Amino acid sequence: MSNVDSRALKGRVALITGAAGGIGSAIYGAFREHGAHCLGVDLSAQGDIAQCDVSDAASVEQAFDACARLGALTDVVHAAGTVVLGPVADMQPEEFQRVLDVNLTGSFLVARAAVRRLNDGGTLTFISSQAGLKGGALWAAYAASKGGVNRLVDCLAEEVGPRGIRVNGICPGNVDTPMAEVAISKLAEMMDSSVESIKARYVSGIPLRRFARPEEVASLCVFLASEQASYLHGALLSLDGGELTR
């Protein structure tokens, strides 16, 4: 959000999961640019990003304990996630379970730790997906996991709203990230097509005719944590260039 003050998050303390990924790293950078003290965590530790496996309860608790050293927690953005593509008929149970473990159980574990530690008046934002609003062929595991995340947002909004903790979900469509590139390459392989034709098909279905930039997701996260979004709660915000209007 271009009209969010550059110091809108000054003095706030945030934990960002998936902070080494395409979207997560943009969120981590944006929060710091807007004045927040941040701990970024990811399955793969690199640079100033600490290690955390969101599907493991002990690992999540350790991450939140480490963040407490920065001060009283005010904001959590849960961006960690994974994807497995394929038809239901061919998918192995362990593949489906792994997506649920990371995307859905991971969201629960992060949410549980967050609401136990967040100050009243804090924020919790989930990076969900357009796939959680509408599924499609070959996306069953991912769509099912993100649909569960969206229902978790609904429930948490009721539970922690009385404390003034605002919980929202962002549902991006296609975003220009390494994970999207891998997914498109896999789809091209499964459909005996080219990466260029698969991407062109997706772009043609987006009224804005392009993928989102990670920074556009990050700016919405900053807005949701700021006072400008003080009455936005329990929302699932579709950030898809208008794709679901079609």
Specify the pTM: 0.95
Cα atoms in the 13 Å half-sphere on the side-chain side of 212: 24
56 Rama class: left (phi>0) / alpha (psi -120 to 50) / beta: beta
Q: Do residues 103 and 179 lie in contact, with contact meaning Cβ atoms separated by under 8 Å? A: no
What is the full per-residue pLDDT of the chain (246 aa) written as tens digits? 445 677 889 999 999 999 999 999 999 999 999 999 999 999 999 999 999 999 999 999 999 999 999 999 999 999 999 999 999 999 999 999 999 999 999 999 999 999 999 989 999 999 999 999 999 999 999 999 999 999 999 999 999 999 999 999 999 999 999 999 999 999 999 999 999 999 999 999 999 999 999 999 999 999 999 999 999 999 999 999 999 987
In this prediction, residue 2 carries a pLDDT of 45
Element (H, E) at 203: helix 195-204
Q: Which residue, among 244, 74, 238, has the nearest Cα to 168 in the 3D structure?
A: 238
pLDDT reported for residue 245: 83
Q: Give strand pairing partners of 78.
A: 17, 126
**pLDDT for the residue 6:** 72
Give yes or no: 142 in active site: yes
Helix (H/G/I), strand (E/B), else coil: 220: helix
Predicted pLDDT of residue 237: 98
Catalytic residue among 28, 142, 202, 231, which? 142
Selected from 3.30.565.10, 3.30.360.10, 3.40.50.450, 3.40.50.720, the CATH number assigned to the domain covering 13-174+213-240 reads 3.40.50.720
Query: Quick one: pLDDT at residue 1?
Result: 44
